[in-house]
Structure 1
C-alpha cells in the first residue's frame, strides 16, 4: 500500500496530464454538433473524384438558402394586409353631416327643394367614400384586404381613399354645375365631417403571413433510390451540388440515430484523441520544459478547448458566420508566451479537429492554416501596437484573397459574390485585436509572462530597480552593461532579446542586502572582506543568489525572470576565496565554495552567464587592446565550457562563437581610447 501511494505521488504530474487529456477529449466530442459525417467530400466547380454515385435511398432535393429567401421575400412583398372597417365612425360621420348641413343650409336662405337636393348629393358622396372606407395612412403594402361584417374582401390600391385624398375625391365627384357658393359650402361641410374609419389589423395580418410562411416548401422534387446522381469525373455544377448537398444532409441526419449514436461518438473520440496525443508527444519530445509544467500544459489545452467551443457554437447557431471566429488569436497567444513553432503546431491541430464539423472543410482548413502561417511569420514584438495592427491587416487580407480565389474556382466568374463575407473577415480582424487584453488576463490567471510584461519590467524607473540604483549603484551600472551586452548577443543568435535584457537587469538584486561586500559598490580602498575568513566571505558572495531569489519573489517577479537570478553563476566556484582558503587549509572541500546552481538551461540564461562573467572581469583589464580583449573573452568562456556550465542549455557551439564575437566587439567599443585633446 505504501509503495502504491509512493508511486502515485511520484507520478502525480503524469496522472494529471492523463486526466486533463481524457477530459479534453470528452469535452470536444460533447461540443461537436450531433450528426454523422458524409463520406464523400465535394465542392462546386470541381470534378467528382469518386466512383459513380447512386441514390442509396429515397430523398427530397432541398432548395438552396438563396432560393428559399427569394420565396420569402416574394411572400413579404405580396403578403395579405388586413384593414378593419369601423361602422360606428361612419354612423357618427352621417349624424354630424346632418347637423352641420342644417346649420349651413338653413330654411331662411334656401328653399326646401334646394336643401333636399344638396343633402342627397352630400349623402351620396359620403356613401361612395365609405363604401370601402377612409384609411388612416397612405403606406399600403402587400395585398390589402378590407374586413367588413366579418368578411374579407380584396381591394385595389386605386380604390383606397385616405384623409388626404378624400378632399380631391369630393372635388372631382361633386356636380360642377352647382352654383359656386352652394358647391363651396357643401364641400366645406363634407370635408369637415370626414374621419378615417379603416385601420390596419397587425395581429390578423401577421397571423396570415405566418400561415403563408409555414407553407413555404424547403424541397423541390425527390430522387428515387438507385438513380444515378453523378458520374466519376463529372463536374459538380449548381444543380448537382444541390442534389449532393441534399443527400449529405439526409444521410447525416439518418446516420445519427439511436442505434448508431455510440458508434459515431466513439469514432469522433478516437480521432480527437489521436490529435491531442500528437500534441502531448510533441511537447514531450520537443518542449520537455513545457511538458513538465502542468500549468503550461493546462494553458495550452484550455486555449484549444476555447477555440473549439466558440467555433462549434457558431457552427450550430449560424454556420454562415464561421469565419467570424478569430482563430488566429491561438497562434498569437502561444507564440507570445512560448515560441512560434509550438504556436503553429497547436494551431494546425486545432484546425484539424474543427475540420470535422465546419462546412466546406477543405476550404476552411486551407484558409485557416495559411492565415496561421502568416500570423506566425509576421507577428514579432507584440508589445509594439503598430506590429499587431499590421499583422492583423495582413491576416485579414489573406482571408479575403483566399475566399476570392475559392469563389472564382467554384463559380467560374465573379457573379453572385457574397460581399457580406468580406465584412465577416473584417470583423474577424477586429476581434483578433482583442488578443492584447486576453494576454493580460492569461498572465493573471495562469501566472505566465509575456513580452508586454517584460517591457514593463525593463523600465529602470520601476520600484525594485530604483531601489537597486540607490542602495548598490555600482551593481546597477554593472547590470545595465550586462543587459546591453546580453541583448546584443541574443539578437545575434535569434534568442529572446527582451527576456534576456530583463533577466540581466534583475540578476544581481540580491547584492542590495550587503552592497559594500561587492567591489563595484566600494567607493574607498577599504574592503570588508579583508577582516573576514575566506569561508565567510564566500558565503556572503554566494548568498546574493539566494537572497536575490527571495527578493524577486517578494516583489512578484515572474519565474522566467527569477530563472536568470538562479542560473547566472550556475554551480561555478568562487575561486578567489577558495584559493585563499587553500592557503590556510589544504584539505578544503570545494563544494562549500560553489554556487548552488542550477546551471543555465536555455539560450537566454547561457547568454546572461557569459555576458555577466565577461563584463565583471573586464573591470580588471589594464590598458586593453583588441588582442587583450580577444584573449580575455576566449579565456572566460572557455573556462565556463570546461566547467560544463552549458551542458543543459539548448545552445550550440556555433551560437557560442557568435556570442563571443558580439562580446568582443562590444568591449572593444566600450574600451576604445579617444584622442587625447591638448589642454
Structure 2
C-alpha cells in the first residue's frame, strides 16, 4: 500500500494528464448529438462516386425548402384575418348622437327638418357601424375578406366595408351631398366626429393561431421510397428529385430513434474518434513541446480552449444551425499563439475543426473554410499586441471566409445567383467576434497565470512604477538592466527565442538591488566601498540576497511567474567569485556553498540568454582599454566558464545557439566601445 501511494505521488503529473484527457473526451462526447451519421457526402450537381445506393428501409420523401416556402406563401395569400366587433361601443355612440343632436341643433327647426336630420343621422349611424369602424390601418387589399367576430358569431366581410377613421370625413361628405344637407355640413360632421368611436380591432392572437393551424396541415413529405428501391446509380448526376430523395434519406437516417444497443455503439464510435483526435494533440505536445507538456496548467489551458470552442459551436447549432459561422473559431489559434507559438496554435485548431466536423452540416465545406481561416490567422498575426495587426487579421479572415464560401456555392449550384447574402453577414459577425480575443487573453492571464505579448509590452515600458523606482534608488543598476535588455533581445532574435520575454526579464532581473543599492559597484558614486568594512562572507551574503529580495519585490508587485523566473535563474548556481577568492586568500578551509547563489539554473533558452548577457555586460565594465581581440577572448572566457559549470544543462539551448549568442555579444560590445578592426602596422 505504501509503495502504491509513493508511486501515485511520484507520477501525480501523469495521472493528472490522464484524468484531464479522459474528462475532456467525456465532456466532448456528451455534448455531441447522439444520432447516426450518414456515411455518404451528397455531391450536389456532380456524379455519384459510390456504388449503387439502395434504400435501406422505407422512408418518406421530404419536400424541398422552396416547395414548403411556396405552400406557406400561398396560405399567407389566402388566409383570412380575424377582427373583433365591439357592440357596446355602438350603443355608447348611439346614445351620444342623441345627446349631441339636442346640443347642436336649435329648437327653432321645423318639424320636417328635424325629422329629416334625425333620419339622416340614424341611417348614417347604421351604415357606419354595419361593419364597424377601424382605427389602425392594415396593408390589405380592399377586396380582401376578413372575419368579423361578435361574441360567438363570425361573419365574413370585405376589408373595404370596414370604415377607417381617416376615411370618416370623406364618407360623411358624400352622404351629406347625397341627402342635400349641405347647409348643415359643419354641424353634422362635428356631431359625428364628437360621437363616433372605433369598435373594430385586429385579433392578432386568433389570426396567428389560425395561421399556425393551417401551417400544421401542410404535408412535409411527397411520396415514399420502399426498402430495396434503387435511389441513385454510380456515375449518375445528383440533382433534382434524386438530390431531394438523398437528402430525405440522410434526414431520416440521422433522426430515427435508436435502440439502446445502437445508441451505445454510436457512443462508442464517437468516444474512439474523439479519443484519437485528443490523443494526437497530447502526443504532439509531448513530442514537440515537452516544456508545455510538463506544465499541467498549460496543458489544462489548451484542453480547456478546445472544449470551449466545441461547446460554443454545439450551443449555436442547437439554437440555429444557420449561425454556425458566427462562432469565432479563429480565436483558438490566436489565443494559443499568443501564449505559446504558431505551430501549436495551428495544430490545436486543426484538431478542434476535425472534432467539429462530426456535428456540423456540410462538414467538408465547414472544415475547409475553418482550416484555411486558421492558417491565415497564424500566418498574418505576428505581433498580437499591436491593435492594427489584429484588425488587419480579422479583415483577412473574413475575406477568406467570403471567398471560400463564394467558391463552394458556385461549385455546388453552378451559378452566382444562389449565393446567400445573409451568410456573408454571418462571416462578418464571426470576424467581429474574433476581436474579443484581447479581453479573453487578459482573462486567461488572470485565471491560468500565463503571460502574453500584450502584458510583456506593458511590462517593458520603462516608465512603469517599478522601473521608475529602480532608476531612482539604483540608477546604475537600471542602466545596467537596460544594456542587458538590449543585448539579450538581439541575442534572442538571432536564435529565434522569445525576444519580448527575455527583454522584460532583463529589465527586472536586478530589482532586488533596490534594498541595498550602494553594495553594488554600478551604484557607487564615490571612492568609498561599503564592502571594505565587511568580511568576504558577509559581503557575499548581501550580494546573493539581491536574488531573494528581487523575488520578494516581484511577487509583492504581482509580476508574472515567467518574469520572476529570470530573477531566480540569472546567476544560476554560480559563486560570488570575487569574494570567494578573497576569502580563500585568508582561509584555506572556505565552504564554497556559502558563496553560491541558490539557483535554480536556467531552464529555458530565454533564461540562459539572460545569464550570458548579464555576466558579459557586468564584467565588460572592468575592461580598461578594450580591443576587438580582448572582447572576443573576454566573451569566450565568461560563457565557456558557465558551460563548464553546467549552468545550461537544464535549458534547451544548443551549442550552435550558444555560439550565435557569443557572436551577437561580441558584435554589440564592439559597437558599444566604438572599436574598429586592428590593422597590422
Give TM-score, length-normalised by structure 1. Answer: 0.90
C-alpha distance in 2, partners of 1:292/1:326?
29
Match of 1:139 in 2: 138
Out of 245, 248, 272, the residue aligned to residue 246 of structure 1 is: 248
Indicate how the Cα distance of structure 1 residues 537 and 143 shifts in structure 2: closer, same or farther if over 3 A, else same.
Answer: same
- Range that drifts further, 265-274 or 53-62: 53-62
Which secondary structure does the structure 2 equivalent of 1:403 belong to? helix
Judge conservation of contact 2:409–2:418 (CA < 8 Å) in 1: no
For residues 513-545 of structure 1, the C-alpha deviation after alignment (integer angstroms, 9 at most, x for no partner) is: 333333222323344445555444444434433
Alignment deviations for residues 108-141 of structure 1 (CA, whole Å, 9 cap, x no partner): 65465x7667765665555444443333343254
The structural deviation recorded for 1:499 is 0.5
Distance 1:595 1:151, change over 3 A: same
SS at match of 1:624: coil
> The residue matched to 1:631 in structure 2 has which SS?
helix
Q: Give per-residue Cα distances to partners, 1:327-359, cap 9 Å, x unaligned.
A: 111111111112221111111111111111111
Provide the residue aligned with 2:288 in structure 1.
286
Q: 1:527 to 1:406 in 2, by over 3 A?
A: same
- Structure 2 equivalent of residue 522 of structure 1: 524
Q: Distance in 1 between matches of 2:554 and 2:533?
A: 30
Q: CA deviation at 1:503?
A: 0.7
- How big is the shift at 1:69? 4.2
Contact 1:482 1:615 (8 Å CA) reproduced: yes
Deviation at 1:87, TM superposition (A): 4.0
- Partners in 2 of 1:20 and 1:179 — Cα distance? 93
Shift of 1:476: 1.7
Distance (whole Å) between structure 1 residues aligned to residue 414 and residue 68 of structure 2: 24
How far is 1:586 from its partner?
Answer: 5.3
Q: Matched residues in 1 for 2:159 and 2:393: separation? A: 58
Q: Which moved more, 1:244-253 or 1:554-563?
A: 554-563
Q: Rate the CA distance shift 1:255–1:651 in 2: closer, same or farther, 3 A.
A: farther
**Residues 147, 606 of structure 1: alpha-carbon distance in 2 compared, 3 angstrom cutoff:** same
Q: Pairwise mapping of residues 535-546 of structure 1 onto structure 2 (< 5 A)?
A: 535-546=537-548
**Structure 1 129/647 Cα, relative in aligned 2: closer, same or farther at 3 Å?**
same
DSSP 3-state at the match of 2:648: coil
Residue 297 (structure 2) pairs with residue 298 (structure 1): no
- 1:259-658 correspondence to structure 2 within 5 Å: 259-530=261-532, 532-584=534-586, 590=592, 593-658=595-660
Among 207, 220, 226, the alignment partner of 1:205 is: 207
When structure 1 is superposed on structure 2, of 531-540 and 102-111 the one drifting more is 102-111
- Looking at structure 2, the residues matched to 246 and 596 of structure 1 have their Cα atoms a distance apart, in angstroms, of 72
SS at match of 2:36: coil
Q: Report if aligned partners of 2:58, 2:225 keep a CA contact under 8 Å in 1.
A: yes
| Pairwise CA distance, 1:376 | 1.4
| Contact 2:34 2:267 (8 Å CA) reproduced | no
Change in CA separation of 1:371 and 1:572 when aligned onto 2, cut-off 3 Å = same
Q: Give the aligned partner of residue 8 of structure 2.
A: 8
Mapped contact 2:627–2:675 kept (Cα < 8 A): no
SS of the residue 2:650 aligns to: coil
For 2:238, the equivalent position in structure 1 comes to 236
Equivalent residues of 1:144, 1:156 under 8 A apart: yes
Equivalent-residue separation in structure 2 for 1:280 and 1:188 (angstroms)? 86
Shift of 1:251: 0.5
Does the C-alpha gap of structure 1 residues 560 and 137 become closer, same or farther in structure 2, counting only changes over 3 Å? closer
Is 1:43–1:360's contact at 8 Å kept on the other side of the alignment? Answer: no
1:489–1:190 Cα change, 3 Å = closer
Q: Offset at 1:651?
A: 2.7
Q: Is the 8 A contact 1:78 1:143 kept in 2?
A: no
Equivalent residues, number: 673
CA distance in 2, matches of 1:105, 1:600: 108
SS at match of 1:80: coil
- Normalised by the length of structure 2, the TM-score is 0.90
Q: Deviations over 1:222-257 (max 9, x none)?
A: 322222222223333354333222211211122634
Residue 156 of structure 1: how far off its partner (Å): 2.6
Closer/same/farther in 2, CA of residues 161 and 548 from structure 1, 3 Å limit:
closer
Q: How big is the shift at 1:102?
A: 8.1
CA distance in 2, matches of 1:584, 1:247: 94
CA distance in 1, matches of 2:121, 2:579: 126
Superposition CA RMSD, Å: 3.1
Instruction: Name the stretch that deviates more: 277-286 or 641-650.
Output: 641-650
Tell me the SS of whatever aligns to 2:352.
helix
With over 3 angstroms needed to count, the CA separation of the structure-2 counterparts of 1:180 and 1:423, relative to structure 1, is closer
From the superposition, tell whether residues 170 and 266 of structure 1 become closer, same or farther in structure 2 (CA, over 3 Å). Answer: same
Is the CA contact (8 Å cut-off) linking 2:82 and 2:203 kept in structure 1? yes
Contact 1:34 1:256 in 2 (8 A): no
- Residue by residue, what CA displacement relative to the aligned partner does 1:293-346 show, whole Å, maximum 9, x if unpaired? 222221111111111111111111211101111111111111111222111111
The within-5 A match list for 1:7-86 is 7-86=7-86
Q: Distance in 2 between matches of 1:537 and 1:511?
A: 13
Mapping for residues 169-248 of structure 1, pairs under 5 Å:
169-172=171-174, 176=178, 178=180, 181=183, 194-237=196-239, 239-248=241-250
Deviates more, 1:565-574 or 1:275-284: 565-574
For structure 2, list consecutive stretches of 5 or more residues without a partner in the other structure.
677-681
CA deviations over 1:138-184 (Å, ceiling 9, x no partner)? 32546412235744333233433334434434544667585754788
Of residues 529-538 and 201-210 in structure 1, the stretch that sits farther from structure 2 once superposed is 529-538
- Give the direction of change, closer, same or farther, for the CA distance of 1:281–1:180 in structure 2 (3 Å limit): closer
Contact in 1 for aligned 2:512/2:551 (Cα 8 Å): yes
Kindly provide the CA deviation profile for residues 641-673 of structure 1, in whole angstroms up to 9, marking residues without a partner as x.
444433333333443333233222322221117
1:47 and 1:104, CA in 2 relative to 1: closer, same or farther beyond 3 A? same
Q: What do the CA deviations read for 1:454-481 (whole angstroms, capped 9, x no partner)?
A: 2222233334333333333222211111
Please give the alpha-carbon distance, in whole angstroms, between the structure 2 residues aligned to 1:244 and 1:109.
84
Question: What CA distance in whole angstroms lies between the structure 2 residues aligned with 1:74 and 1:465?
Answer: 75
Q: Which residue of 2 aligns with 1:677?
A: none
C-alpha distance in 2, partners of 1:179/1:558? 94
Tell me which residue corresponds to 2:679: none
